[in-house]
A and B are shown apart, each in its own frame.
Chain A
Amino acid sequence: MHPTPRDSEPSAPVIEVQGLVAHYGEREILHGVSFAALRGEIMVVMGGSGSGKSTLLRHLLGLERPTSGSIRLLGQEITQMSELELYELSRRIGVAFQGGALFSSMSVGENVMLPLREHTRLDRETMRIMMRLKLEVVNLAGFEHLMPAELSGGMVKRAAFARAIIMDPAILFCDEPSAGLDPVVSSALDELILRLRDALGTTIVVVTHELESAFRIADRITVLDRGEILVVGSVAQVRESPNPRIQNLLHRRFEEEEIDADAYLARLTGEGARRA
């Protein structure tokens, strides 16, 4: 395993992002994003659609390479890592994707066991026991033989959680855990996230646009808006922030962009329409 010197220091940031600039094609999506997440905390990255939160997550996962800036996970700089080094690191990172991303050709149990099968030399019976343990944690005991298509939306997400934690990761990323779920199921998932943190001491990063869920589970919140971080702070700090853009987000006010008369005229007459 790779040495991770900062790993042992309790208060060292587990995730450290500095000056992250990211482009999608020609368009700059993230304009110098910086934040850090500490060991064992639940950090919620909150933002509306188009805020760049999905882009930020893809960079944190090493799925995209940034234009500039640095990302350190568990003390290791990932932006310059080779593919194989990333694979090595990813054994200590779990991800629960928005739609679950379970492999449809495998049963729930096989899905959950897949990382073990690929990365360990455990015998099959041990893997089965570990898989059932994790299914117990997410309240899916007894569902190992079902196929993903036979599960409800909430169950798919819980199975995805079980797969994400099968290797006992140091960091768990959750993409929109409550999206597409009814309030009861979604609050059950919030409980699950809290329980995972308490049980495993995992650092959890939740990317969401759901205010209620964010306030319920967060130790700290990072508010992302149009590719910039508006605030990083506790739930109370975010709630009391004087920043009008944050208040707009909190009160679900649609923010009208200021109208520049010249630009408006240009758009209407077609000049610059191609740019828009």
Chain B
Amino acid sequence: MAPPGSPSPSLRALEDLGRATLRAIASLGFGAQLLLDSIAWIALGRRRGQAVHAAPVFSEMMQIGVRALPIVSLLAATVGVMLSIQGIYQLRRFGAEDQVVIGVAFGMTREFAPLITGILVAGRSGSALAARLATMTISQEVDALRVMGINPVRFLVVPSLLAMLLVLPALVVWADLVSLLVAGAYVSSELGMTLQAFVLQTLDLLTAADVMHGVWKSLFFAVLVALIGIVDGAAVSGGAEGVGRVTTNSVVHGITAIVLTDMLFVFATTR
């Protein structure tokens, strides 16, 4: 690929690294700008004669949230049971199996429910958002919006962002409920305690702060997934192949951002 007379390979690698870094910073800047723009349109849209409509927000919520319920429930239940099995196995060494409730309750609400839900939504809806925006960019639909005097941020970005913000915390709370109930059913049958005892013990241990820890995190995830989907989608070049590429990018970027943010959030709030 390198044309003759170009700089040495190591210099080229450095050049590529520099270019990639600049691109990443530019994407971050674009994402931040989209977020600010979105807030501005939500706050001032009506005054600018471009109100944010409710209908697309609801249809997005349907798509991102309600349609994701079965798969979120399945994963939450699976992770709940998995945590219970691992917990019982570890705690048996100390003869403290009945303490497994602590691990499952805290693990699910603080960590696994938001993480699993976030990753799932990134894979399911972040990618869909990227693919849709990329297709619209290529087929000049975004240009068409602008020449019709319709701001694309207001029309395309804000509904997805709002829907994501409203739906992801709800999904997380749902995942909390499902996973704890299923884990309770498993633990109670395994340890010969009643489901009622498990539920009471869980309610006794868990505080609202634990549940809110997960919910707050999910708000960050929501913003990340929506913005990454849109930034990646808008960066499309080339035809159908380009759409595939940015879609994949959005999933990888989304999951990475979620896991990193999770760690930073825990680091900042939990030590």
Contacts and interface: CB of A to CB of B under 8 A. Distances in A.
A63 B142 CA distance: 10
A274 B6 contact: yes
A270 B141 CA distance: 41
Interface string A78-115: 00000110111111010101110111100000000011
Which DSSP category, helix, strand, loop or mixed, fits chain B's interface? loop
B5 A101 contact: no
B131 to A, nearest CB: 12
B95 interface: no
Interface stretch (B86-94, B146-154, B247-255): B146-154
B3 interface: yes
B50 A118 contact: yes
A271 interface: yes
B143 interface: yes
B99 interface: no
B140 A118 contact: no
Contact of A101 (B50, B143, B149): B143
Contacts of B48: 84
B24 interface: no
B147 A98 contact: no
Interface in B179-208: none
Contacts of A95: 144, 147-148
B9 interface: no
Given A62-B147, A63-B147, A118-B149, A101 B4 contact: no
Contact of A98 (B140, B146, B148): B140
Nearest to B48: A84
Contacts of A91: 149
Given A115-B149, A273-B5, 6 more contacts: A90-B146, A101-B143, A102-B141, A104-B139, A104-B141, A119-B149
The 6 tightest CB contacts between A and B, nearest first, are A270-B4, A101-B144, A90-B149, A87-B149, A101-B140, A95-B147
Interface of A: 58, 61-63, 83-84, 86-91, 93, 95, 97-99, 101-104, 114-115, 118-119, 163, 270-271, 273-274
Interface of B: 3-6, 48-50, 135-136, 139-141, 143-144, 146-151
